[in-house]
Amino acid sequence: MSEIEELYENFPTILKEKLRNKEIEFPSNTKFDYEKIYVYRAVSREITDFHEIDKNDFRSYFELGKKPKKLVKGRSLKNDAHWYGVSTFTNKEIIEFNMKFPNPHKKMAAGYVHCEGGPQETKDEHVCWWLYKDVDLSSFRIMEDKNE
Question: Cβ neighbours of residue 147 under 8 Å, at least 6 residues apart?
Answer: none
pLDDT number for residue 67 = 74
Q: Is residue 108 part of a domain?
A: yes
Which residue range is the domain that position 47 belongs to? 26-72+80-142
More confident residue, 40 or 144: 40
**What are 43-89's pLDDT values in tens digits?**
999 988 889 999 999 999 889 988 766 666 666 666 789 999 999 99
Give the chain's end-to-end CA distance (angstroms, integer).
Answer: 45
Q: Is residue 1 part of a domain?
A: no
Overall number of domains in the chain: 1
d(CA 122, CA 98): 18
Question: Could you tell me if residue 10 is inside a domain?
Answer: no
* 19 domain-assigned: no
Q: Is 6 within the bounds of a domain?
A: no
* Residue 3 forms part of a structural domain: no
| pLDDT confidence of residue 2 | 84
pTM metric for this prediction: 0.89
